[in-house]
Amino acid sequence: MNASRILEGRPVAEALQALPRLFSICGVAQASAGVAACEDAHGIAAIAAERARRRILVTAETVQEHARRLLLDWPKLFLDAPPKLDELAAIHRCLTVVVRALGGRIWQGEAGTTPPVLDLSVAGEQLQQLDAALAHAFFGMAGADWLQIRDGEALRQWYRRTMTVAARTLRAVEDGFLATLGRSSIGTLPPIAAGAFSAILDADATDRFSVRPEWNRNACETGSLARQGGHRLIVDLQRWHGNGLMTRLTARLTELASLPRRMRRYLRVLQGASSALPFRSRGGVPEAQSGIGIVETARGRLVHRVRLCNGMVERYRIVAPTEWNFHPDGPLVRGILGLPVSSVQDLQRYVAMLVVALDPCVAHEVIVEPARAEEL
């Protein structure tokens, strides 16, 4: 059963309050998609400044999730080293202050309640600190400078001379002949109009699309690689490694380097507005209406589709990034099929690497069935 059905039959405000608790993974993004879907259903439009505030909060969560996986999982999987807890704590402190300075929550209650009071100067100062923390933890230089790396050879020069976890990980991938690990013909999820998603989900009486989504009858990959596929460095890496491990890990780094600049761009929108936002404008509230909210999270594209009736949630469906990336014919499965391994331990290690490269938020366990293990 689609877990979002738990929200059905509840008042809208109660459902929105429950969202980040019910879906603790990327809870800020879940709340943002839910609020956007319900506003859309009610004919409510958030003003530009409020949309910018929400995007900063979602982006802050994306930075946190990327940093957590890079500093906890990458050392263990690729370097046989302990996690970098001090560096993660420094990043977390910056993000915590930013989030508090911007009201702390996506859902601010019913229209007419007190809007969030913002401290934009504090947010701006902490974004500068965040830049420095990310440079120290991952790049060995400013993120903007790292983004000037435009091809695989320049990337190789960087990770050969830099001692951060990220650089050492890419070096280990090259030295272990793992650059093409997980390579497949799976394409990335293209931009899709909200109306197209709405039509598919409204017609999806059996929830098949929610649990096994496909686009044009094909499984797709969502996440950093899909979003960063146009960057010159990623284009060059795809020429040599396809969508293998080197390309996917570098796409995550490329995105992480770009996120503080994106947050500052949204902050400038806020700085042009009042410090206390009238965060929504109300339109007419129909008796029964549907709405959709689409948010890019650390893991990939998240879609919420809601149908309301008389202030109650009548139907709620979610298409999560995990359902794309871990589709039975999706990028993980395609990347594993035919993988040459010499032991169960190698298989478990390789699968763990691909899971981390595809989905930075999901815990996993690799179980090899005895009959399959005898074939290795």
**Structural domain boundaries in the chain:** 3-275+287-373
**The pLDDT value given to residue 45:** 82
The pLDDT tens digits for 90-102 are: 999 999 999 999 9
Per-residue HEC secondary structure of 156-200 comes to HHHHHHCCCHHHHHHHHHHHCCCCCCCCCCCEECCCCCHHHHHHH
Confidence check: pLDDT of 229 > 80: yes
Q: Tell me, which fold does domain 3-275+287-373 have in CATH? A: Cytochrome-c3 Hydrogenase; chain B (1.10.645)
Position 40: which residue type? D
pTM recorded for the entire structure: 0.92
Cα distance between residue 120 and residue 114, in whole Å: 18
Which tens digits make up the pLDDT trace of 132-164? 999 999 999 999 999 999 999 999 999 999 999
pLDDT exceeds 60 at position 288: no
Per-residue pLDDT band at 113 (split at 50, 70, 90): low
Greater confidence (345 vs 302) lies with: 302
